[in-house]
Amino acid sequence: MTRPTNKEMTIDQVVEHLSDGMTIGIGGWGPRRKPMALIRAILRSDLKDLTVVAWGGADVGLLAEAGKIKKLVYAFVSMDTVPLEPNFQAARQNRTIPEICEWDEGMFQTGLKAAAERLPFLPMRAGLGSDVLVNNPDLKLVKSPYADENGDYEEFVAVPALKLDVALVHLNRADVHGNASYLGPDPYFDDLFAMAAEKTFVSVEKIVDTAALTADTPIQRLLLNRMMVTGVVETPNGAHFTNCVPDYERDEKFQKHYAKSAADPEAWAAFKERFLSGDEAAYQAAVEAFRAEQA
């Protein structure tokens, strides 16, 4: 009997699978359960000209500030208690992201679903009569081939598939084979990102034995199965400074420090030197030192 493949990787090995010009989907939701350790690894790399697809938070802001994004497809970019992600706001105002596609949240989900089902598009009503179509003139309309009860042929928005080269997601637990579970209140569509992608890399708070994935949690929390996953990385505190409940909440003090620093060039240079100039271990050590200062 063939045993499942061991897919455990390091952060740097994940980045080695990425290349310039790729379309990368980033899971999570705003400031919630983002694969931030993987994002920080991309910041340290020479990768460029990326198309990023995300319900964005600081992941998008950091990649935009670093000049990594050629095209951004998003429904929103926010950190909740900081409504406008500051680095993203600056990128939009200064037009440093060459191509922008801002979609309705439902359209965004539908685009991922179309890609997951290997369809070129899916029809939906969201967006009809709105400025989403005005600001995205490449979006097309399609008529139903079936008449309704009045004999009319209804018109829909034809939402194109959001095909991804790679999906990056962060979950709470996984085994070495890529089966992964979330323990918090929401899956945040990470399974759609994985199914819409050619390759999926999942970072987790802890890699456990396969049997432990369902020992203390309901089986329906197994969000990803090993057939959907290319590689799995153990990254404790890897979603910081977003949350990864129940393992930890969002680091509000650090988030405020991030936002305040991003508003001032000198403060931002100091922030990058302290927190983003080294590897992931250096980042986590710097965060611990920051917490001690704030205590």
Nearest CA among 245, 209, 282, 244 for reference residue 4: 209
| CB neighbour class for 289 (10 Å; exposed up to 12, middle 13-18, buried from 19) | exposed
Q: Is residue 225 part of a domain?
A: yes
In contact, 132 and 155? CB cutoff 8 Å = no
Q: Is residue 263 part of a domain?
A: no
The confidence score (pLDDT) of residue 211 equals 85
Domain extent, residue 148, equals: 123-160
Instruction: Read off the pLDDT of each residue in 161-168 and give the average, rounded to a whole number.
Output: 98
Q: pTM of the entire structure?
A: 0.95
In contact, 52 and 72? CB cutoff 8 Å = yes
Same domain, 17 and 155: no
Q: Is residue 78 part of a domain?
A: yes
Same domain, 171 and 226: yes
In contact, 28 and 35? CB cutoff 8 Å = yes
Same domain, 167 and 67: yes
Q: Is residue 292 part of a domain?
A: no
Nearest CA among 132, 124, 127 for reference residue 101: 132
The confidence score (pLDDT) of residue 160 equals 97
Same domain, 178 and 231: yes
∠ CA 44-50-56, nearest 5°, is 85
Same domain, 128 and 237: no
| CA–CA separation, 51 and 172 (whole Å) | 26
CA atoms 237, 242, 248, 253: torsion sign: positive
pLDDT tens, 56-86?
999 999 999 999 999 999 999 999 999 999 9
Nearest CA among 282, 295, 217, 226 for reference residue 254: 295
Q: Is residue 168 part of a domain?
A: yes
In contact, 116 and 90? CB cutoff 8 Å = no
Instruction: State the CATH number of the domain containing residue 190.
Output: 3.40.1080.10
Q: Is residue 146 part of a domain?
A: yes
> 3: pLDDT confidence band, cut at 50, 70 and 90?
confident
Same domain, 219 and 129: no
pLDDT tens, 175-218?
999 999 999 999 999 999 999 999 999 999 999 999 888 776 66
| pLDDT above 90 coverage of the chain, percent | 92
Our count of domains for the chain comes to: 2
Q: Is residue 111 part of a domain?
A: no
Residue 37 confidence (pLDDT) above 80 = yes
Q: Is residue 291 part of a domain?
A: no
Strands 197-207 and 140-143: unpaired
Same domain, 24 and 130: no
